[in-house]
Structure 1
Amino acid sequence: MAKSTSQFVKLGVFVILGSLLILVMAYLIGSEQNIFRPTFRITAVFSNVNGLQKGNNVRYSGIDVGTVRNIVMEQDTSIRVYMQIQDDMLAHIKDNAVAVVGSDGLVGSMLINILPGSGKGSPVQDGDEIATYSRISTQDMLTTLNVTNENASLLTADLLEVTHSLRNGSGVLAALLHDSVMVQDLREGFHNLKVSTARSEQAIGRLNRIIEEWRLEQSTLSLLTDDPEFTEQIRRVAANLDTSGAEIRELTGRLNDLVSGLQRGEGTLGMMLNDTVMASEIRHGLSHLDSGLVKFDENMEALKHNWLTRGYFKKLEKQQEKESKKQQ
């Protein structure tokens, strides 16, 4: 009998402790799920929730403020998420807030982050819908990374092929690497290109200055053409130029006729130009004339030193000196 009583007491204590533990666990779970505190509900529509489930946390500026109560598929491109938020956050969450599906760390469970909106907004009300923003999911990032890795592999293979070709000396680049003469020519070409570019810039600068001067001259010319006296002078000069041009054309015609006649042998000058015998006689006569002039100079020099004519030449020199002094 005593043994049965102790067993009943132990059983009662175990039941009481188990009940208390269950109550504590229920309270903790209820507190975590916001069951035993006043809450309000807001919704958000996403195109992809990325594995979000009921009971996942809702955070506002990094603080746990509620849980996900329900997820409803409205259309093939829209999923509505119902969030239960603590009532004391009603004054802090504005209607311009943005909901984003994220994860708790790199490999943690999914959750919803509510981010404050820019500018001023009004506090949300129970049942309001807030805006959403879809981030790139981890799966999408892994897919993109996989594609990037494949492209990097292809690029590496191409680079290896190019490097192999360069080492074997095939292709234009390999020729540039191994041909020092071509490299020197390229350097000289680039140097000449730089020089040409510099000269082109200088020429463009000069052309700009010429254009500016031309604009200035054009403005000055417009001012001069507004003067009637200057305009009349320009007209007279143009008329004189026309007259001079006509006279020059007439003189040119006469010269052409004269040259044509000379070429045909007309006149004395034409005969002299075309008759070789006469030209030879003229040359012979000129040579005799040169000899006669030389002998004449010698005779005059002898007369200057002859005692009969020396006085005459001295008087003549004195008279020439006097005249030169008077002119000075």
Structure 2
Amino acid sequence: MKAAENKRAISVGIFVLIGIVILVTGIMVLGGKQKRFVKSIRVNAIFNNVGGLQSGANVWFSGVKVGTVRRIQFYGNSQVEVTMNIEEDVQQYIRKDAQAALSTDGLIGNKIVEIVGGSTNSPVVEDGDILHTKAALNTEEIMTTLQANNNNLLRVTTDAKKILDEVLKGKGVAGAVLRDSTMATRFKNTMANLQAASNSAAQVTRSLSSASGSLNQFASQLNAKGTLAHDLVSDTTIVRDLRASTARLKDVSNTAVEATTNVRRATEKLNSNNNAIGSLLNDEVVNNDLKSTIHNLETSSQKLDENMEALQHNFLFRGFFRRRAKEQAKQKSATAATAPTDTSVRK
């Protein structure tokens, strides 16, 4: 009997010891996950709606778990205050201007608190600080948005199906192009014309490029010292001379215009019968009278010569003409006698 009782006591003791080990191990594991045995600070955040957040939820910072939610309680009229335990080891990385936002562990996972932001210019967070909160979309809003997008996508696919059915039936321009060979031929011709226009545009572009090269070459010539183009652009003396020459050419042109105008006026007067020269040139009556007058003058001169010849032979005037002839002969002989003397003097 004693041996059986001792054996039973030993078995119970072993099972109790195993239970105690399992209990301690569970407590250590759970405590490690809940950060119960790690030194921490308390940080608060006030939300308008926690969306089902529970105590013991994880707190994340930059994708790393840094603490847990310790307590959730109402604050003020309708807000909720969330108290979080944050490890002291990561306290130096969280700043006072950081923000706390509600998020989910995955798409439809448990609610968590995520600490985001914070600048290096701000001091580190301390025990009892209250972080600013950042509004985030909850699951219901996300699902509502997804439902609206699904409805829009359904309408788009339905409209696209209708359009494809009409196109396959040959309705509209697209259906005509697909089913009508004439339209297809015209479309091909249009594309060929567009290709030709594109080639022409490319040629124009190349021409413009060559023209740009020519302009660059001309500009380089303008910048080259000693060339006429550079002197015309930079030398003020040449420009001043060109301006003076242009002014003189303008004066000559004005003078030529005035001369042309005067010649035209003189020609008009010569062609007119209102003046003597015009009458002489254009009026036949005046020409005939002038010819008659000249003929009469010639006749009168001839008769005058005959009369003078007759007077020379008349005995009344014969002595006068002889004396005159002698005087003329003396003058000629005197002139002939003085001619050699003048020549010797000149020598």
TM-score, length basis structure 1: 0.56
Letter in 2 for 1:62: V
The alignment status of 1:69 with 2:65, answered yes or no, reads: no
Aligned partners of 1:153, 1:131: CA distance in 2, in Å?
41
Match 1:191 to one of 172, 184, 195: 195
The alignment status of 1:238 with 2:250, answered yes or no, reads: yes
SS class of match (2:190): helix
Deviations 1:197-236 (A, max 9, x none): 3355356554896699699679935745765443322211
Report if aligned partners of 2:97, 2:132 keep a CA contact under 8 Å in 1. yes
Asked which structure has the greater CA Rg, the reply is: 2
**Judging changes above 3 Å, is the alpha-carbon distance between structure 1 residues 200 and 74 closer, same or farther for their aligned structure 2 residues?**
farther
The alignment status of 1:166 with 2:167, answered yes or no, reads: yes
Aligned partners of 1:256, 1:201: CA distance in 2, in Å?
59
Aligned partners of 1:84, 1:211: CA distance in 2, in Å?
74
**Judging changes above 3 Å, is the alpha-carbon distance between structure 1 residues 56 and 226 closer, same or farther for their aligned structure 2 residues?**
same
Name the Cα RMSD after superposition: 4.7
Letter in 2 for 1:44: A
**Judging changes above 3 Å, is the alpha-carbon distance between structure 1 residues 116 and 195 closer, same or farther for their aligned structure 2 residues?**
closer
Structure 2 matches for 1:1-328, cutoff 5 A?
Answer: 39-46=40-47, 48-60=49-61, 61-74=63-76, 79-115=80-116, 117=118, 119=120, 122-177=123-178, 178=180, 179-202=183-206, 204-205=208-209, 206=211, 220=232, 223=235, 227-247=239-259
Letter in 2 for 1:56: A
Aligned partners of 1:118, 1:82: CA distance in 2, in Å?
22
**Judging changes above 3 Å, is the alpha-carbon distance between structure 1 residues 67 and 209 closer, same or farther for their aligned structure 2 residues?**
same
Aligned partners of 1:257, 1:214: CA distance in 2, in Å?
57
2:5 maps to which residue? none
Aligned partners of 2:233, 2:108: CA distance in 1, in Å?
84
Query: Identity of aligned pairs, percent?
Result: 24
Aligned partners of 1:55, 1:103: CA distance in 2, in Å?
14
TM-score, length basis structure 2: 0.53
Number of residues of Structure 1 aligned to a counterpart in Structure 2: 245
Higher relative CO (CA 8 A, sep ≥ 6), structure 1 or 2?
1
Structure 2: gaps of 5 or more residues? 1-8, 223-228, 271-347
Deviations 1:25-46 (A, max 9, x none): 8888777666676542112244
SS class of match (2:171): coil
Aligned partners of 1:100, 1:161: CA distance in 2, in Å?
45
